[in-house]
């Protein structure tokens, strides 16, 4: 596989590539990771790699030892459970706070929902980006900066794992693309009704995503041991 990226690639693209390789265990757990080596491996500047590593450390995919060495921290099955426990807390708390606001402003959610209406025909990467924006918009509407900050630190990992699952299962990819509009339009509609039903629907949506992500990581672990 050709690892070289165009020099014009942004830090975001380099970040996505390194993140995916860590999730796929191209890098082994505990393996030292260095700017210069990555710069040469991916054919990008050291500054782009440095910026990517800062984000990866925030995402807990890289950790710094006491001696300053950065090492890989691969995703384990329990990490998926912790990740989705956090996601569930963030989203359901956001919904509860949104319903408690005296003057609700659904504008950010409605703007993303309008993009969902045009989702048929978009590729997987574009759909996953809209998906992330939809869930983020709910947190924006509840006006809780702490929840939004927590969300930003985990969304990249969740998107990468979901994209991985698409590559593992063509059948799932087709279902995801075909059902995306209906599922997310239904979620938006629940925000206009009783809070209990909205919370129930979002909780189930998150549990479905948890199961899918857990299967994707289990498959990666199985492949890495063969």
State the pLDDT confidence band at 187, using cuts at 50, 70 and 90: very high
Q: Which of 53, 72, 91 is the last residue before a domain boundary?
A: 72
Q: What is the mean pLDDT of residues 72-90?
A: 96
Q: What pairs with residue 70 in β-bridges?
A: 64
CATH number at residue 49: 1.10.10.10
E strand intervals along the chain? 62-64, 70-72
Position 177 scores a pLDDT of: 83
Instruction: Reply yes or no on whether the pLDDT at 1 is more than 50.
Output: no
Instruction: Reply yes or no on whether the pLDDT at 103 is more than 50.
Output: yes
Residues 207 and 124 occupy one common structural domain: yes
Look at residues 167, 87, 159, 170 and name the one whose alpha carbon lies nearest to residue 127: 159
Residues 140 and 200 occupy one common structural domain: yes
State the pLDDT confidence band at 83, using cuts at 50, 70 and 90: very high
State the pLDDT confidence band at 5, using cuts at 50, 70 and 90: low
Tell me the pLDDT of the chain averaged across its residues. 90
What is d(CA 37, CA 131) in angstroms, rounded to the nearest whole number?
Answer: 34
Residues 6+ apart with CB under 8 A from 7: 43, 44, 45
What is d(CA 32, CA 61) in angstroms, rounded to the nearest whole number?
Answer: 12
């Amino acid at each position: 596989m050709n690892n070289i990226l165009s020099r014009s690639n942004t830090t975001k693209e380099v970040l996505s590539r390194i993140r995916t390789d860590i999730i796929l265990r191209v890098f082994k757990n505990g393996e030292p990771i260095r700017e210069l080596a990555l710069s040469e491996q991916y054919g990008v500047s050291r500054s782009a790699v440095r910026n990517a590593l800062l984000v990866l450390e925030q995402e807990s995919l890289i950790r710094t030892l006491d001696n300053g060495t950065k090492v890989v921290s691969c995703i384990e099955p329990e990490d998926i459970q912790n990740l989705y426990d956090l996601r569930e807390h963030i989203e359901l708390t956001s919904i509860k706070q949104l319903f408690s606001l005296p003057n609700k402003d659904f504008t950010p959610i409605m703007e993303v929902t309008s993009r969902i209406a045009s989702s048929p025909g978009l590729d997987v990467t574009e759909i996953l980006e809209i998906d992330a924006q939809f869930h983020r918009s709910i947190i924006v509407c509840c006006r809780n900066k702490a929840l939004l900050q927590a969300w930003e630190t985990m969304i990249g990992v969740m998107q990468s794992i979901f994209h991985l699952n698409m590559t593992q299962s063509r059948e799932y990819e087709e279902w995801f693309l075909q059902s995306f509009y209906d599922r997310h339009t239904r979620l938006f509609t629940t925000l206009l009704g009783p809070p209990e039903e909205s919370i129930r629907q979002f909780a189930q949506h998150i549990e479905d995503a948890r199961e899918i992500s857990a299967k994707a990581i289990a498959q990666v672990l199985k492949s890495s041991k063969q």
